[in-house]
Amino acid sequence: MSHAQSARPEAAARSEAEAKARPGTSATHEVFNQAPPRRDINEFSLNTALVEAVDTFAPAASLSELERIGGLVGSADFINDARLANEHGPELKTHDEWGNRIDAIEFHPAYHRIIGDALASGAHSHAWTNPGPGANPERAARFMLFSQIEPGHACPVSMTHAVVPSLAADAKLADFWIPKATAAEYDPRRIDPAEKTAVTFGMAMTEKQGGSDVRANTTRAVPDGDHYLITGHKWFCSAPQSDAFLVLARLEEGVSCFVVPRILPGGGLNSVRIQRLKDKLGNKSNASSEIEFDSTVGWLLGEPGKGVRTIIEMVSQTRLDCILGSTAGMRQSVAEAAWHARGRAAFGATLIDQPLMRAVIADLQLESEAATFTAMHLAAVHDDESADASDFRRLATAVGKYWICKRGPEHAYESLECLGGNGYTEAFPLARRYREQPVMAVWEGSGNVIVLDVLRALGREPRTAKAFLGFLETGLGRHHDFDAAYEGLAASLHTSLEVVSSEDPAQIAGVQRSGRVLVEKMALLMQSAILFESAPAEVAAGFASARLGPDRGREYGALPTDVDIDFLVERA
């Protein structure tokens, strides 16, 4: 036996005695008073407001499919893929190793898994492949469930959904593209679209000198046989990996719309040159790009000079999807906040039992429910082809897009604060969500553009105001704060209609200056009327009091005393 071996028992005894004499060194590594991971749950079943809205607006929806999707997006694997897709964003490869121009986008495999699941679940196509009452609300529910966990992939999903009405402007193009755009499949290969059963779409409208003023476009198109050659620069093109794009370019007749494939018939690469990927605040998993066309091949869609009218059908659909995306973000935000508050204690009680926290969670839930029922109501209106529904939809979609998307960032911030320091770290999803929410307010018309669109509709299509006020009248007699706010809005709308129909630039400028005030009132009354019609009485009454009443607060959690906080907290 060596010396070291003979000394071991004595050393061991000495170490044991020393250990007993001092505090355990591992005590600080014990984790307690932290909420458990929010994983492996069903995001549909737990979302009471969405379940009720589906029952109201899509009573024939496949609940088993929605529950399957809810379990999928709530799984640990899907949530981890959402993290990976954002931490390892898309990369631009302009050339291959031999110097050939390829203009390819490389994604992390997690991104492909996520968008593949979304497309296989009909998040882009259900409304078109299963038409009828409830089709758009059921598709909206599917889309929101996926967007709640990973919003970046939703951009190409949304555009692929939204392109269908615009493609209908040309029977030949529609026959080729629509079956592929509505297929419940995902095929990212860069091959001739004729060899594919499923495709995705993007669009390229804005230019650096024009932005939202697409009529200022300078991109040109010239005829070349049965197609056109397009040359110009687009400041924003989302999802440049798509199989085809709707593009605005100028003909002699004016701005026109074209279908531009990424791969040409026969398999050749079209000259869609990706200049760079945009380094954005959020939406990191989605490839937004700046592109150039150099005699790029495209096919005219719709009439020459009527490009804005053709593509506006797509924009209308994507505006609705901005509402859906913001709503999905609100659900993620309040769900994470409520989960944390139920699993964390401070100052002698669980956070969810602290009166101040209960008020904040209740208010966040109130905002989320108003957005959810509004989003599903607007989706249902897209199933209605009547003239009255069309007139209401014309204003309501723009008003809803303006307000719900504006509310998203502040809602995300307040939810993040509920998690304290954890919320401000990238290990939790609300930091990513906080960066994500402004996207929906900027895309498809920023706030001022939407307000101008509302005012334009009032001036050119006064029947839309009649339809909008007619819907609001359904809420009269339900709550005194709503009734008072309605009278004020009706007077404001009447005055605005007279002014925007006049030729007086000074008066029109005055209406524009106060345009945001008008649209905000329209939005709050619309949401309130929808809640009266569809939501539980406690939610509807609470919203009218908290958003329209004289005791309404500025910050989340500053609620009037008549709001049923306990009811809302339980639903969160």
Domain harbouring 293, CATH code: 2.40.110.20
483 closest CA partner among 449, 529, 420: 529
Pair of tokens at residue 419: 């998690």
Same-domain check for residues 205 and 66: yes
pLDDT of residue 4: 39
Question: Does some domain include residue 74?
Answer: yes
Considering the domain architecture, whether residues 492 and 519 belong to the same structural domain is answered as yes
Asked whether the beta carbons of 399 and 526 are under 8 A apart, the reply is yes
Amino acid, single-letter form, for residue 322: C
Residue 73, CB-side half-sphere exposure with 13 Å CA sphere: 30
Beta bridge partners of 248: 257
Q: What is the pLDDT, as a whole number, of residue 501?
A: 82
> Which letter, b or e, does each residue of 476-512 get, where b requires 16 or more Cβ atoms within 10 Å of its Cβ?
eebbebbeebbeebeebbeebbebbeeeeeeebeebb
Q: Which one of 262, 285, 305 terminates a domain?
A: 305
Residue ranges of alpha helices (H) inside 501-536 are: 505-513, 515-534
DSSP state of 116: H
Q: Could you tell me where the DSSP H helices lie in 245-382? A: 307-343, 355-381
Question: Contact 429/273 with Cβ under 8 angstroms?
Answer: no
Q: Is residue 525 part of a domain?
A: yes
Per-residue pLDDT, 26:
62
Q: Which residues of the chain have pLDDT under 70?
A: 1-26
Q: Note the pLDDT of residue 136.
A: 98
Q: Is residue 16 included in any domain, yes or no?
A: no
One domain for residues 60 and 179: yes
Cα torsion for 561, 567, 570, 572, to the nearest 10°? Answer: -70
Identify residue 232 by its one-letter amino acid code.
Answer: G
Specify whether 487 is located in the same domain as 561. yes
pLDDT single digits (tens) 479-532: 999 999 999 999 999 999 888 888 788 888 988 999 999 999 999 999 999 999
DSSP 4-71: HHHHHHHHHHHHHHHHHHS--TTGGG---SSPPP--S--TTTT-HHHHHHHHHH-TTS-HHHHHHHHH
Residues 265 and 292 reside in one and the same domain? yes
Please indicate, yes or no, if residue 20 is contained in any of the structural domains: no
Number of Cβ within a 10 Å radius of residue 336: 23
Task: Look up the domain containing 496 and give its range.
Answer: 309-571
Strand partners, 251: 254
State how far the Cα of 456 lies from the Cα of 395, in Å rounded to an integer.
10
Q: Is 1 part of any domain? A: no
Give residue 9's pLDDT.
41
Let me know: does 278 contact 247? Beta carbons within 8 Å. no
Contacts 24+ apart (CB under 8 A), 165-170: 165/313, 165/314, 165/316, 165/317, 166/246, 166/257, 166/301, 166/302, 166/310, 166/311, 166/313, 166/314, 167/259, 167/301, 168/313, 169/257, 169/301, 169/302, 169/310, 169/313, 170/299, 170/300, 170/301, 170/302
Domain boundary among 282, 305, 328: 305
CATH number at residue 513: 1.20.140.10
Residues 244, 381: Cα–Cα separation, whole Å: 29
pLDDT digit string, tens, across residues 376-425 = 999 999 999 999 999 999 999 999 999 999 999 999 999 999 999 999 99
Distance CA 560, CA 547 (A): 10
The structural domain count of the chain equals 2
Does 339 reside within a domain? yes
pLDDT for 193 equals 98
